[in-house]
Structure 1
Amino acid sequence: MAATGSGPGVAERLAGRHVLLTGVTGFVGEALLRLLLVEVPDVRVSVLVRPKGSTSAAARVATLLGKPVFSPAVEVAGGVEPLLAARVGVVAGDLSDVPALPDDLDAVVHCAGDVSFDPPVDAAFTTNVVGTRDLLARLREAEERGDGRAVHYVHVSTAYVSGRRSGTVPEGPVAHDVDLEAELAWGLAQRGELERRSRDADRLEAQRRRAEREHGRAGLLTAAAASEAARRQWVKDELVRVGSERARSLGWTDCYTFTKALGERVVEQHARTHPVSVVRPSIIESALASPHPGWIEGFKMAEPLILAYGRGELPEFPAAADTIVDIVPVDHVVATLVAVLAHPPAAGEPAWFHVSSGHRNPLTFRRLYEHVRAYFEAHPFQAGSRGASPLPDWRFPGASAVERLLTTSERAHRVAESVVGRAPRSDRTRDLARRLEQQKQRLEFLRRYLDLYQEYAQADLRFSDERTTALRLSLSAADQERFAFDTAAVDWRVYVEQIHCPAVTAPIRRLDEIRARRARSTPARAGGLRPVPAAEGAGAPGVAAFFDMDGTLLSSNVVETYLWMRLQELSAGERAGELGRVLGRVPGLLRAERRQRGDFLRAVYRDYEGADRAALDRVADELLTDHVLARLSPEAARRIREHRRAGHRTVLITGAVRPLTRPLAPLFDHVEAVDLVVDDRGRCTGHLVSSPLVGESRAAFMQAWAAEHDVDLTASYAYADSHSDLPLLAAVGNPVAVRPDVPLYRHARRQGWSIVDWASPASAGRSLNPAGGRR
């Protein structure tokens, strides 16, 4: 039978004490604040919280206390405001600029910190080292202003500060000889160093050329923006990479555990003259019992992997089957913190506590896998109409085998992406692009999480928790029940299958059901596009809809529409010759179109030289109207009419010559098309009145037109099919990609733009001579 302590209980020891908490907007901090307010009724709490945007720190805390988990304390106090007034003080500030602290504190619990496993190196040092140092400096200042009593400082760290060692890890300081000041100076300097390196001419040239190859058709400014985005992403990625590599070179798993270990060094210096406790949880997951089983805020370490496995998207994991995965419920962590708060050590005698399960109640990766699999076998995710998602069968082949499998898949995906990117536009190509995009997301997910967790999955560690066990046994029987943190009592089958997995999958299942209901209620023809709200109605000012023509409204292209117009003026023999001549130029025209669409259009329209301009209008009116309208997508026509009924301005922007737009003109309030220069005889010269609107010039036209007609582009719509139309689509608040080419499809998917499939009429022919014989 477990021994129990005597003397004052936890609540009695903390009665009348003033405790400062950091990190209360995070998972552990929130749980700790709740436990103190509910179970320790006579403790007074101050919280260090930063303002966020226009929301004050006090307002953020009031919102936090309005959550259901705080309702017992709120009800006792008579509301959130009375609770704030009586028991919760708000100190507005941040670890990047720690404000003055109250001078009557009895204890501080530092829960805040960068908890990402792959933070930028400068951010990790700033939060986990500099923030801790500054907080302790402000604490000493508060002590001097007060009555001189030393304040008990409780530092929340992580069990994994032990680094890449193996075997049993004792509850005590980590042995290492790293130069704290040198590493701190290096880490904080990395952003400036990498920003400087990112502007190296050779690197900039390579990024610019790559961006121009990918985005040049949309415009050089679009390419420049992509180049600059690539530079910034390189800096961001390098800040993560150099931090990880430096950490591993010194014996830690990642930058997170490295900087947390250096943060402990700062705490050890403070502990020479002050009472200090260091609490090191292992992997913190959902609550076992309090405030209710499965309570969790956000995704932690295991959740993305559990969800991916349930979706059938995690084929293997680089762990040995018998390796321990050390999980602790969050209520055990905060109960330990409260017990530690109530039992401060003497100044100069710091105490370390592991909150872990692997030493006395080990859970191996194989057992975890079996429990997760059992849960999803009983409660599978549904893969649409295909039924339950298939569950991967893990064999635990080892990290090297998993890495080879992932590397091979990544290489095959890059080859497939390259092939599809060069394939002609078609429904099949888009479907392949969609599937490749989904596969890319899965591979990126796997790469990120396998790289991130591989060290933890192979860590042969057992965290001794003898001091934590002794603390628990020193409590009364009532306190051992109220502040429960015996991890040996956790039944892992019950916890994983009946508590944790149901909790982490519940919000995903709700989202799936919402999506399913939306899909059932959305008309098939809408293709997922949000309908124009009826409330906008006729007379709603300031909204326009901009439409591209070729490939968007009509299943046509510039070369084809040129032939529609020009062949009508020629004899049968001349037609054959002209058709042969144009077909011979197609390869060169396609190369020009890939390089610069404006030059391509000029090259095509050179062939109008000598054409009678008035005759082109007659051809369009008399011979091509029925043909053009027959090629108009029915979905496109309906969408244009919806906009007109809603009172929106409709604008056609096309690279086609103006005569060809005449059949569509009644649908639009404004038509912006290519105008041909004519001589004094009314004959076309082969030149254009002004540069054709392509790429960025389309966006510039839209902005000028919108300003002139008092149109709000952020509320407006645009429809286009080509990657060259990125600026047009990006200029509005409601962009829609219509049967897009592969580059536009990929961009639209990444940006979350609407993608629709406006099919051509089944009766539309592909004849280059739709009007038949000569006029």
Structure 2
Amino acid sequence: MEACHSRSNSASQSTTAAQTVALHSYAGKSIFITGVTGFVGKVVLEKLLRSVPKVERIYLLIRSNSRYPTAAERFQAEVATSTIFDVLKDEGEAEFAALCQRKLRFVSGELTAERFGLEESAFAELAAEIDLVVNCAASVNFREPLDDALATNTLSLYSIIQLTRARKVPLVHVSTCYVNGYNEGTIEETIAPPAQLSLPRNEAGFYDVEPLIASMQEKLATLSANISDQDQRQAALVELGIELSQQYGWNDTYTFTKWVGEQVLLQHLGGQALTILRPSIVESTLFDPVPGWIEGVKVADAIIMAYARQKVTFFPGDRQGVIDIIPADLVANSIIVAGAEALGGMPAHRVYQCSSSEQNPLTIKEVIEHVVYEARHHHTNYRKLFLRQPRRPFIMIPGWLFHLGLGMAYSAGACWQTLKGLLGAEASVALSNLDAARKLAGVFSFYTRPRYRFSNKKLLALASRLNDEERAAFPMDTAELDWQHYFRRVHLPGLNHYALDAKRARLKSAAPQRRPVATEVVKVTS
């Protein structure tokens, strides 16, 4: 892989390499966080509130909506009620509300609008208050219309840049390991080149993506002008995103626009502290605040769910391929420690990968074995995941064989449909299952045919600079992670309880708050 950073940035990074990192860097500091309504953002916020008591203020950018007209109201309804905060609430609802009242400040704004939609004066006041920006916001839909993905994952960063420039405050930007696209082999913690089409570089050595962004915007404008039907336009925007992404060497619009976003930050934040932190596939928490906490169905879980419901029993992939999974609390710890380094160190550009594939590789074969074992022997423990015991095994086959088999099955399915009167509902179910397999493969098969391993040596070196107490409180190391224990005793139970049985899990957290959780500081302009 190629290193793409300026000499000054390299020098800054080597100068700080031997310095210790301490969480007391947060003492008296104010943090601005985006994406707190999302999965990773919630885990970061909970850990800060519970384990970094000396932080002064946490400003949260949250988009209001018709149901919740302010950020504070939406936070109280959609974030504060989350089970992620149950450990904090064990001390009492009133105590949790008081903690939020002391620490949290809310900004009602739109991430993709210029200056988040704030008046210039309000934006300037906000910039004057903060000491660190943590950008957790992203659109993680792999088949997002290109205009939406570009707005969220790339163009929104210009407002982030403007916010940090006022006082040259550090930025921790949460990206993804998969910005490395179709590149293969060992992926180092540096800036990945496009795997297929080349792009020009600027004088500092960064990829010049401004012409690429302009070209995409021109294509978007042309497409929107030529297609009036909304559904057809949305479908065309999805296909345009996939086409351009794969043309340049990325599997999907999400990873492509995240890579372009990284280049924007590198180009515009010269001389400032910028940390790009790339998690791999983020799944349920390992330790904190409880083992197995998860929100929603993630990449690996979509396939697990399809097997659990017997909709998909064969899938394209490499059984011996190493799939890179990282628990969410290790990601949150990495973000927080990277923030401490940025607050206490010299300005530099840093890239860290929060991953497991190099240090503690997990094969797809092992994942399948853990899931099938629980399905066969303990399916009654998973009331929501396994509605009944799966009768068929889960088979991972080469991609060419999958598509050949799918085509043959569709041909047979057409015959079944013709004879539906004789076969009853079975034909419809079979065709529905084939369609589910096809759709899942279209989105996720890239991740089940891995040809790469993500290095995390720099992140481990960062962890080594913590003292023993803080290293234990903020673990980032996957070396000792027991994957069998994680899947069978942590992740699958957590998926069943928190993600799939969410209504039941939220009963405790949904208790009425005794007081407002915090105050609104600025609102979006009308």
TM-score tier by shorter-chain length is 0.7 to 0.9
Q: CA RMSD in A?
A: 2.8
| Alpha-carbon separation, structure 1, partners of 2:230 and 2:188 | 42
Cα offset for 1:8? Answer: 7.6
Going from structure 1 to structure 2, the CA distance change for 1:405 and 1:71 (only over 3 Å counts) comes to: same
Correspondence for 2:317: 319
1:61 aligns with 2:86: no
Correspondence for 1:116: 141
How many pairs align?
A: 459
Correspondence for 1:304: 302
Cα offset for 1:436? Answer: 4.1
Q: Normalising to structure 1: TM-score of the pair? A: 0.56
Correspondence for 1:549: none
Correspondence for 1:362: 361
| Alpha-carbon separation, structure 2, partners of 1:196 and 1:11 | 52
Does the aligned pair in 1 maintain the 2:187–2:454 contact within 8 Å? yes
1:158 aligns with 2:170: no
Please show how residues 531-570 of structure 1 align to structure 2 within 5 Å. none
Q: Which has the larger radius of gyration?
A: 1
Partner residue of 1:35 out of 25, 37, 47: 47
Going from structure 1 to structure 2, the CA distance change for 1:128 and 1:393 (only over 3 Å counts) comes to: closer
| Alpha-carbon separation, structure 1, partners of 2:371 and 2:378 | 10
Does the aligned pair in 2 maintain the 1:11–1:42 contact within 8 Å? no
Cα offset for 1:366? Answer: 0.8
Correspondence for 1:497: 488
Cα offset for 1:38? Answer: 0.3
**Higher mean displacement: 98-107 or 180-189:** 180-189
Give CA-to-partner distance per residue, 1:512-549, whole Å, 9 cap, x none. x9xxxxxxxxxxxxxxxxxxxxxxxxxxxxxxxxxxxx
SS at match of 1:481: helix
| Alpha-carbon separation, structure 2, partners of 1:333 and 1:478 | 18
SS at match of 2:408: helix
| Alpha-carbon separation, structure 1, partners of 2:192 and 2:388 | 51
Please show how residues 221-260 of structure 1 align to structure 2 within 5 Å. 231-260=229-258
Gap regions ≥5 residues in structure 1: 200-230, 421-427, 514-775
Correspondence for 1:139: 164
Cα offset for 1:348? Answer: 5.7
| Alpha-carbon separation, structure 1, partners of 2:49 and 2:475 | 16
Partner residue of 1:173 out of 169, 191, 194: 191
Cα offset for 1:418? Answer: 5.9
Correspondence for 1:457: 448
Does the aligned pair in 1 maintain the 2:164–2:170 contact within 8 Å? no
Correspondence for 1:130: 155
SS at match of 1:109: strand
Does the aligned pair in 1 maintain the 2:245–2:252 contact within 8 Å? yes
Give CA-to-partner distance per residue, 1:625-645, whole Å, 9 cap, x none. xxxxxxxxxxxxxxxxxxxxx
SS at match of 2:31: strand
Cα offset for 1:343? Answer: 0.5
Does the aligned pair in 2 maintain the 1:6–1:475 contact within 8 Å? no
Correspondence for 1:669: none
Going from structure 1 to structure 2, the CA distance change for 1:477 and 1:50 (only over 3 Å counts) comes to: same
Please show how residues 70-469 of structure 1 align to structure 2 within 5 Å. 70-73=85-88, 75=91, 78-97=94-113, 98=116, 99=118, 100=123, 101-140=126-165, 143=166, 148=167, 150-176=168-194, 177-178=198-199, 180-198=209-227, 231-344=229-342, 349-380=348-379, 388-394=389-395, 396-417=396-417, 420=420, 432=424, 434-469=425-460
Correspondence for 1:25: 37
| Alpha-carbon separation, structure 1, partners of 2:170 and 2:500 | 44
**Higher mean displacement: 409-418 or 31-40:** 409-418
What letter is aligned with 2:45? Answer: L
Does the aligned pair in 2 maintain the 1:11–1:39 contact within 8 Å? no
Give CA-to-partner distance per residue, 1:284-333, whole Å, 9 cap, x none. 00001111111001111111211222233322221112111000000000
Going from structure 1 to structure 2, the CA distance change for 1:387 and 1:492 (only over 3 Å counts) comes to: closer
Does the aligned pair in 2 maintain the 1:313–1:442 contact within 8 Å? yes
Cα offset for 1:476? Answer: 1.1
| Alpha-carbon separation, structure 1, partners of 2:354 and 2:305 | 26
| Alpha-carbon separation, structure 2, partners of 1:42 and 1:77 | 21
SS at match of 1:453: helix
Does the aligned pair in 1 maintain the 2:293–2:498 contact within 8 Å? no
Correspondence for 1:768: none
Cα offset for 1:189? Answer: 4.2
Gap regions ≥5 residues in structure 2: 1-16, 200-207, 505-526
SS at match of 2:262: helix
Please show how residues 644-663 of structure 1 align to structure 2 within 5 Å. none
Correspondence for 2:476: 485
| Alpha-carbon separation, structure 2, partners of 1:18 and 1:507 | 31
Does the aligned pair in 2 maintain the 1:26–1:112 contact within 8 Å? yes
What letter is aligned with 1:371? Answer: H
SS at match of 1:287: coil
SS at match of 1:70: helix
Going from structure 1 to structure 2, the CA distance change for 1:189 and 1:443 (only over 3 Å counts) comes to: farther
Does the aligned pair in 2 maintain the 1:158–1:280 contact within 8 Å? yes
Does the aligned pair in 1 maintain the 2:280–2:354 contact within 8 Å? yes
| Alpha-carbon separation, structure 1, partners of 2:317 and 2:161 | 39
Going from structure 1 to structure 2, the CA distance change for 1:508 and 1:295 (only over 3 Å counts) comes to: closer
SS at match of 2:341: coil
Does the aligned pair in 1 maintain the 2:185–2:452 contact within 8 Å? yes
Q: Normalising to structure 2: TM-score of the pair? A: 0.81
Going from structure 1 to structure 2, the CA distance change for 1:81 and 1:360 (only over 3 Å counts) comes to: closer
| Alpha-carbon separation, structure 2, partners of 1:507 and 1:290 | 14
Give CA-to-partner distance per residue, 1:450-507, whole Å, 9 cap, x none. 1111222222111111110001111111111110111112100000111111222346
Cα offset for 1:387? Answer: 6.2
| Alpha-carbon separation, structure 2, partners of 1:336 and 1:280 | 10
Cα offset for 1:406? Answer: 1.8
Please show how residues 588-603 of structure 1 align to structure 2 within 5 Å. none
| Alpha-carbon separation, structure 2, partners of 1:336 and 1:478 | 15
SS at match of 1:273: coil
Going from structure 1 to structure 2, the CA distance change for 1:95 and 1:68 (only over 3 Å counts) comes to: same
Please show how residues 638-649 of structure 1 align to structure 2 within 5 Å. none
Does the aligned pair in 2 maintain the 1:65–1:80 contact within 8 Å? no
| Alpha-carbon separation, structure 1, partners of 2:36 and 2:388 | 41
| Alpha-carbon separation, structure 2, partners of 1:508 and 1:468 | 29
What letter is aligned with 2:191? Answer: P
| Structure possessing the higher relative contact order (Cα contacts under 8 Å, 6 or more residues apart) | 2
| Alpha-carbon separation, structure 1, partners of 2:436 and 2:95 | 43
Please show how residues 577-616 of structure 1 align to structure 2 within 5 Å. none
Correspondence for 2:202: none
Does the aligned pair in 1 maintain the 2:33–2:58 contact within 8 Å? yes
Correspondence for 2:64: 51
| Alpha-carbon separation, structure 2, partners of 1:269 and 1:196 | 32
Does the aligned pair in 2 maintain the 1:164–1:459 contact within 8 Å? no
What letter is aligned with 1:408? Answer: M
Cα offset for 1:158? Answer: 0.3
SS at match of 2:317: coil
